[in-house]
Amino acid sequence: MAIESLRAEARVLNLRLDFLPIEHDKSIPKDLAFERTLLVTDVILPSSLSSQGRNVSFAEAILRPTSVLNPFLAPAPVAKVSSPKVVNTEERGFRGPRRKLVAVTACPTGIAHTFMAAEALKNQAQKMDIEIHVETQGNVGAKSLLTFAQIKEADAVIIAADTAVDLARFAGKILYRTNTGTALEKAAMVIEAALYSGLAHSSAALSSPSAQHSASPSTRAVPSGKHSGPYQHLLTGVSYMLPLVVAGGLAIALSFVFGIEAFKVSGSLASALMQIGGGAAFKLIVPVLAGYIAFSIADRPGLAPGLIGGWLAAEAGAGFLGGIIAGLLAGYSALLIRDRITLPQTLAGLMPILIIPLFASLITGLLMIYVVATPMKGVMDALTAGLLGLSGANAILLGALLGAMMGFDLGGPTNKAAYAFTVGLLSSNTFGPMAAAMAGGMTPALGVSFACFVARQKFSTEERQAGKTAGILGLCFISEGAIPFAARDPFRVIPANVMGSALAGALSMYFGCTIRVPHGGVFVFGIPNAVENLPMYLVSIAAGTLLTGLIIAIVFKKSVPILEDVLQ
């Protein structure tokens, strides 16, 4: 695309343009007129490819061909007799109008995509000679918090998030929104788009550090075009719900160490652990899910109505499906009240702390009690009974479907939908689908790691090293370790991932495996009673890993030297 863009613009400018592709490890011919040379690359190259000409990125050549070629309209200077000056690699890179960026990355689980997207943006910005500061909003809280000075000096802001992110700090800044998957796989495109196609955030500009710090780094609802909507709000609720599921599930599993029915002995440690896990943590799962769905939609005024609606759903037995409906009702009713009710300026302060929470809570609560709760309880009872009663072909089919969804897009919408569904079932004490989903999610990264081991000749040194890392991530139930391989050869790797994950999920359901926690991988296998039928669960994961690994080893294309375009 860069060549076509420059060639078309050269015809308009009546400028002769010759193209010379050179491999990244070769030297530029010494007889070139360096003052008339244009180097187009997205990486920092060795000094053998340095020149005294202009150096731009592929994206700039595509987006701004006129400004790229304008400097060459002047008469060519007389070539110097001396050897060409070697330009420091730090002086090369992007020559755009802005050179400073800030970014925020966030994903529902806050474990893999959040940090991998941040690393991809940092690495690409370094290659393009752009200063960038990235704040990660992971499951343990925000890290590398952006300062007021960094935001003020930034020429653009990148929001790479799969959940709602508070934008108050970035009022008045050029803003570009995307998801973590795009930032991870197409970091260069995201950076260029932020610099050239971002839109100014419509809120009033911030003027002081105190104003900037008044906005917490927590995830909150802000309209975000195609990246917003009920699905994103659901993922935000799931991200806040996960710690409760993990803590509650492990507490229940630990209570079983003393015996399956030891918790029935009043005053015993097993009873206390069961009370912590089942009596407290699991009872909060649905209210927190609903509360933070509403929080994502309507900010803080939606939190109280969402929590109330979620509690009513849990008490009525409507489960996580009732909680989702309660959160959506609370959030959108809070927005409706905010937009439709106007108070005098002297009473405006009552809206977020009194008017919206009160009336949204009443609307949500009454609808849950009289309209939603009873039908949703029937749906959840039927769903739970159906899942618990699955056997034979039906169980295998469900496991294969969940596994295939987990292995399809490695943290994308399909993967997250399957994961959110199985996590929600944990609150109803349905543990089999969670085991199938975890097995399916571990398989892709373990599979590519196995392929790198059995077919070493097909992978470069860097890919084999990435395969080792993917294996470790796979053991931790972080399927994103397979993303670099899927990105390089998607039409071969993705089907292999899907088939292996489907096999792992199907076998897990067939063998009746269950797991009580939604994350952790092999680290939860050693906890007594956390996994039921552990030996066959390991067999399921191993079978899926072998299938994925062998398919990739057979069909994966052997690595070839990477060529970079060098334009004269």
Per-chain mean pLDDT for the chain: 78
218 and 287 both lie in a single domain: no
On whether residue 339 sits in a domain, the answer given is yes
141-143 sheet: strands from edge to edge = 141-143, 131-138, 100-106, 156-161, 174-178, 199-200
- Inform me whether the pLDDT recorded for 83 exceeds 60: no
On whether residue 561 sits in a domain, the answer given is no
In terms of C-beta density within 10 A (0-12 exposed, 13-18 middle, 19 or more buried), how is residue 445 classed? buried
208 and 290 both lie in a single domain: no
Residues 348-387: tens digit of each pLDDT: 788 888 899 999 999 999 999 999 989 998 988 888 787 7
- Inform me whether the pLDDT recorded for 121 exceeds 60: yes
Kind and range of the H or E element at 553? helix 534-555
187 and 282 both lie in a single domain: no
Mean pLDDT highest for which of 110-114, 196-200, 263-267?
A: 263-267
On whether residue 567 sits in a domain, the answer given is no
Residues 12-26: tens digit of each pLDDT: 666 666 665 555 444
114 and 197 both lie in a single domain: yes
Query: Tokens 């919408």 map to which residue?
Result: 413
On whether residue 563 sits in a domain, the answer given is no
138 and 250 both lie in a single domain: no
Distances, alpha carbon 371 to alpha carbons 73, 230, 326, in Å: 72, 21, 11
Provide the CB-side half-sphere exposure for 490 (13 A, CA).
6
Query: Tokens 């788009």 map to which residue?
Result: 193
Residue 24, domain extent: 2-91
pLDDT tier, 205 (very low <50, low <70, confident <90, very high otherwise): very low
Query: Tokens 């060098």 map to which residue?
Result: 566
> Is-catalytic flag, 107?
yes
510 and 380 both lie in a single domain: no
Residues 475-505: tens digit of each pLDDT: 988 888 888 888 778 888 999 999 999 999 9
180 and 150 both lie in a single domain: yes
Q: How many domains does the chain have?
A: 4
Domain end (from 70, 91, 112):
91
On whether residue 564 sits in a domain, the answer given is no
Q: Is 309:365 a contact under the CB 8 Å cutoff?
A: yes
Q: Is 135:192 a contact under the CB 8 Å cutoff?
A: no
Whether the full predicted model's pTM is greater than 0.85, yes or no, is no
